[in-house]
Chains A and B, each alone.
Chain A
């Protein structure tokens, strides 16, 4: 299968509409609006097995099938999650800066599938260059009649509202994002009700990630069977793997799900920078935690990583070189999560601050034997009765660091308390 997500990534600026049309873009969207029914689109996406690329890997077609069907009692909305903030993740940015029309064609088809006449594109505030590329691309579509009151000259209406966030990692969580879109503090909402019932502005809403939607035009164009011909049985298709940290050729690599971490790091990213040894790698963004280099042969798909006790997350691989200790790297994350908790639930607020203090203690070489039990208690305690799964995100690096690199923490204890021989 040829690449279908990253064809424009080598460009210096965004692909504009005229050129996009020359490449056959929007033919699929036009066919959808002119000839298909929403059910047919949802079925094709359902059959393709496409799962959400925002990190939770929920099947997209099934999510769409939860949306209301006629007779509709009011508007439904599509909300695009472009809040990309998980450390080690930069794929959505690449799509939006280089190929905004790929995302926009996905938005057109997705909106049609869930019968939404308004799509809110929530983009993180710092992504100003991507924002500008999208604003231009949306204006091009309005001019061309691909948006507005008669999309492609049909009776369908659609408008896209581009909305900038303002700096808060937690707004990537879908219900926090909805609050933020509504002009509120970006605090996650208790679920249920789920967004498909009570979402943006109290209306049924589907929240989908940028890369998820970027997969949709190709799926509808080539069909579910085509899509399922690559990737794994449970997670078909390509993924944009971000590879960063200490590698020779960091970047975004489009490859089938299930490609091994070794192939990604060694073959595509050119191995550890400067020919050094690897101390650890992170498979899919900060919250997926650390794995030792012996695990490099793991297949990068949700099921295989689950077997290793972690997650695929966003597929953003981060390579930690030999000269950096996992204790120090874990501190970068504990400080990050402490900073980013929204603070609504005390186990999460206290737990993220407390665990950061404990890791800082180890970092100063003042760790104590009881600190291991303490960290485990914090992780257990903070997962209880919280509104969202943020505590699992901060427990990822913490738990895996202690599990796979306990020795490093033991040598970072006060000398009086060093492990007995």
Chain B
């Protein structure tokens, strides 16, 4: 662990840190200490920033880079490799329907169709009210409980078009607190 990397983390650009809740800023500063090299903390830092903002924008890339000691351009090169990092806003409930083999064999296209009908959006689109966005994703490791979809990495399994309609209604009803809405929808499922 290099001493200069340490100094850099403590001297985080004030403007950037101030935008963050204090607890999150402290957590981000501590993450590199878990790794033999500061850079190991890059993916976890990006996850936390995305959870907070909903996506990652250039300020987040600069901040992440400052913390681990690399340039914002290099952060961008890394994050653009991974499908879970979003470079622009998505819906409050980003829906990812698995399109891979076991889900497809069990009717995943009907789930996509149901979302389209209910919300009027195709994969890659966001509803006008900003509540939902739709995406097709690859195998989620839920093949034995197919077909399935995920919302912020929370899974809904053994789905039917009716269950999808019920899920959308529950999420919509809880839109003021998305994380809580997703949790309670999971418990009811």
A binds B: yes
Residues B154 and A93 in contact, CB atoms below 8 Å apart: no
Q: How far is the CB of A88 from chain B (nearest CB, A)?
A: 5
Residues A251 and B141 in contact, CB atoms below 8 Å apart: no
Residues B44 and A163 in contact, CB atoms below 8 Å apart: yes
In the bound assembly, the distance between CA atoms of A88 and B144 in angstroms comes to 8
Interface flags for B78-91 (1: CB within 8 Å of A; 0: not) read: 11011111000000
Residues A161 and B144 in contact, CB atoms below 8 Å apart: no
In the bound assembly, the distance between CA atoms of A125 and B155 in angstroms comes to 13
Tell me, yes or no, whether B71 is within 8 Å of chain A by CB: no
Q: How far is the CB of B88 from chain A (nearest CB, A)?
A: 16
Tell me, yes or no, whether A38 is within 8 Å of chain B by CB: no
In the bound assembly, the distance between CA atoms of A17 and B101 in angstroms comes to 36
Contacts of A165 in B (CB 8 A): 43, 82
Q: How far is the CB of B154 from chain A (nearest CB, A)?
A: 7
Residues A125 and B47 in contact, CB atoms below 8 Å apart: yes
Tell me, yes or no, whether A126 is within 8 Å of chain B by CB: yes
Q: How far is the CB of B135 from chain A (nearest CB, A)?
A: 11
Residues B36 and A93 in contact, CB atoms below 8 Å apart: no
8 Å CB contacts to A: which residues of B22-62?
34-37, 39-44, 46-47
Residues B43 and A245 in contact, CB atoms below 8 Å apart: no
**A127 (CB) vs chain B CBs: closest residue:** B141
From A149-157, A189-197, A317-325, the one touching the partner chain is A317-325
In the bound assembly, the distance between CA atoms of A118 and B78 in angstroms comes to 25
**A186 (CB) vs chain B CBs: closest residue:** B81
Contacts of A250 in B (CB 8 A): 102, 143-146
Q: How far is the CB of A406 from chain B (nearest CB, A)?
A: 21
8 Å CB contacts to B: which residues of A119-158?
124-129
Residues A87 and B43 in contact, CB atoms below 8 Å apart: no
| Chain A interfacial residues counted at CB < 8 A | 59
Contacts of B155 in A (CB 8 A): 129
8 Å CB contacts to A: which residues of B89-117?
99-102, 104-106
Contacts of B81 in A (CB 8 A): 168, 185-187, 342
In the bound assembly, the distance between CA atoms of A168 and B82 in angstroms comes to 6
A318's contact among B46, B79, B85, B101, by CB below 8 Å, is which? Answer: B101
A243's contact among B100, B139, B144, by CB below 8 Å, is which? Answer: B144
**B99 (CB) vs chain A CBs: closest residue:** A332
Q: How far is the CB of B153 from chain A (nearest CB, A)?
A: 4
Residues B150 and A183 in contact, CB atoms below 8 Å apart: no
Residues A332 and B101 in contact, CB atoms below 8 Å apart: yes
Tell me, yes or no, whether B4 is within 8 Å of chain A by CB: no
From A57-65, A333-341, A356-364, A378-386, the one touching the partner chain is A333-341
Residues A183 and B41 in contact, CB atoms below 8 Å apart: yes
In the bound assembly, the distance between CA atoms of A166 and B87 in angstroms comes to 14
Tell me, yes or no, whether B68 is within 8 Å of chain A by CB: yes
Residues A244 and B144 in contact, CB atoms below 8 Å apart: yes
Tell me, yes or no, whether A246 is within 8 Å of chain B by CB: yes
**A89 (CB) vs chain B CBs: closest residue:** B141
A128's contact among B39, B102, B106, B154, by CB below 8 Å, is which? Answer: B154
In the bound assembly, the distance between CA atoms of A251 and B144 in angstroms comes to 5
| Chain B interfacial residues counted at CB < 8 A | 43
In the bound assembly, the distance between CA atoms of A129 and B145 in angstroms comes to 15
Residues B102 and A88 in contact, CB atoms below 8 Å apart: yes
Contacts of A75 in B (CB 8 A): 36
Which of B139, B142, B145 is most buried by chain A, counting CB atoms within 10 A of its CB? B139
8 Å CB contacts to B: which residues of A286-315?
286
Residues A87 and B78 in contact, CB atoms below 8 Å apart: no
Residues B100 and A126 in contact, CB atoms below 8 Å apart: no
Tell me, yes or no, whether B185 is within 8 Å of chain A by CB: no
Interface flags for A175-192 (1: CB within 8 Å of B; 0: not) read: 000001111111100000
Q: How far is the CB of A304 from chain B (nearest CB, A)?
A: 23
**B143 (CB) vs chain A CBs: closest residue:** A244
A201's contact among B37, B99, B141, B152, by CB below 8 Å, is which? Answer: B37
Tell me, yes or no, whether A164 is within 8 Å of chain B by CB: yes
B140's contact among A126, A166, A336, by CB below 8 Å, is which? Answer: A126
Q: A165-B82, A318-B105 are in contact. List 20 more A-B contacts (CB 8 A).
A: A85-B139, A88-B139, A125-B84, A128-B152, A128-B153, A169-B138, A183-B41, A185-B81, A201-B36, A201-B40, A242-B144, A244-B144, A245-B101, A245-B105, A245-B143, A251-B144, A282-B101, A286-B100, A324-B105, A332-B104
Chain A interface (Cβ < 8 Å from any Cβ of B) = 75, 84-90, 92-93, 118, 124-129, 161, 163-169, 180-187, 200-201, 203, 242-246, 250-252, 282, 286, 316, 318-321, 324, 329, 332-333, 336, 339-340, 342
List 11 A-B pairs, Cβ < 8 Å: A88-B139, A90-B141, A93-B142, A126-B84, A126-B140, A126-B150, A129-B154, A163-B44, A166-B84, A167-B84, A168-B82
Counting from the closest, the 5 A-B pairs by CB-CB distance are A183-B42, A166-B82, A167-B84, A167-B83, A244-B143
